[in-house]
Amino acid sequence: SQQGEEDPQALSIQEGENATMNCSYKTSINNLQWYRQNSGRGLVHLILIRSNEREKHSGRLRVTLDTSKKSSSLLITASRAADTASYFCARGGREGQGGKLIFGQGTELSVKP
Amino acid sequence: NAGVMQNPRHLVRRRGQEARLRCSPMKGHSHVYWYRQLPEEGLKFMVYLQKENIIDESGMPKERFSAEFPKEGPSILRIQQVVRGDSAAYFCASSPQGLTNSPLHFGNGTRLTVT
């Protein structure tokens, strides 16, 4: 699939635990973005990591990128029930395709109180 | 500063009718993207428009689907002669520039149900 793969498809954890989601892709990238989608809502941008970066933090989020393995991971530390959502990675299209993003299939995270 | 506005939130159409989905991008954004999401799936790119121009329609079905983004007014995604398989959530996103290093800002979608 050109859209890449995310795993796991679904993840269920207890509040306070860490959640790790992985994303693999097939083509070269300029950057990789992560988004969250709450049930019935649109996607919200979380973090963007550039191809020359290996790790990036934002609050309780940590994103890593390994361009040699064409993979990225999103770590949510000390999870809360409010983190329950679907999480998607997204990469840009080919050069010259403007701001179009191609999304993975997503990981559905459930955080139990 | 209002976000991306989509309407209607829910739309029910009978097979064979037309569906019109509207999207007003964020203020100052001239790039609009439409995506379709089937239940339990990710977003599939449909079309990318800039004011009065279709930049990339590689994800649009060849028949029955069309999109526009006029100089004035919202972007419209139009589906003619809807079929049950068109039932999905349709999301619009916008960005100020058509750059891959810009986040997209999404609306809350239009959920189309074809009966």
A62-104 tens-digit pLDDT: 999 999 999 999 999 999 999 999 999 998 766 656 778 889 8
B88-97 tens-digit pLDDT: 999 999 998 8
Residue A4 has pLDDT above 80, yes or no: no
pLDDT of amino acid A61: 98
3 state SS of A10: strand
A85 forms bridges with which residues in the sheet? A109
Which amino acid belongs to residue B90? Y
pLDDT of amino acid A2: 47
Taking the CA of residue B114 and the nearest CA in chain A, the distance in Å comes to: 18
Residue of chain B whose alpha carbon sits nearest to that of A4: B42
Rounded-to-10 torsion of CA A96, A100, A104, A109 = 140
Which residues, other chains included, contact B84 with Cβ-Cβ below 8 Å and sequence gap of 6+? B15, B114
Nearest to B101 among A44, A48, A97 (CB): A48
A7 — pLDDT class (breaks 50, 70, 90): confident
Contact B111, B9 (CB under 8 A): yes
CA atoms within 13 A on the CB side of A36: 13
CA distances from A33 to A51, A73, A96, A102, B41 (A): 11, 11, 18, 10, 18
Contact with chain A for residue B108, Cβ under 8 A: yes
CA distances from B94 to A81, B47, B66 (A): 29, 12, 18
Contact with chain A for residue B53, Cβ under 8 A: no
B26-73 tens-digit pLDDT: 999 999 999 999 887 789 999 999 988 999 999 999 999 999 999 999
Question: Considering only CB atoms, which chain B residues are within 8 Å of A40?
Answer: 108
Strands (E), chain B: 5-7, 10-13, 19-24, 31-37, 43-50, 53-56, 65-68, 75-79, 88-95, 105-106, 110-114
Rg (CA), chain B: 13
Which amino acid belongs to residue B2? A
Mutant choice from A3, A36, A43 vs B, greatest count of B C-beta within 10 A: A43
Residue B20 has pLDDT above 90, yes or no: yes
DSSP states of B29-49 as a string? Answer: --EEEEEEE-TTS-EEEEEEE
Contact with chain B for residue A40, Cβ under 8 A: yes
| Cβ neighbours, 10 Å, residue B74 | 17
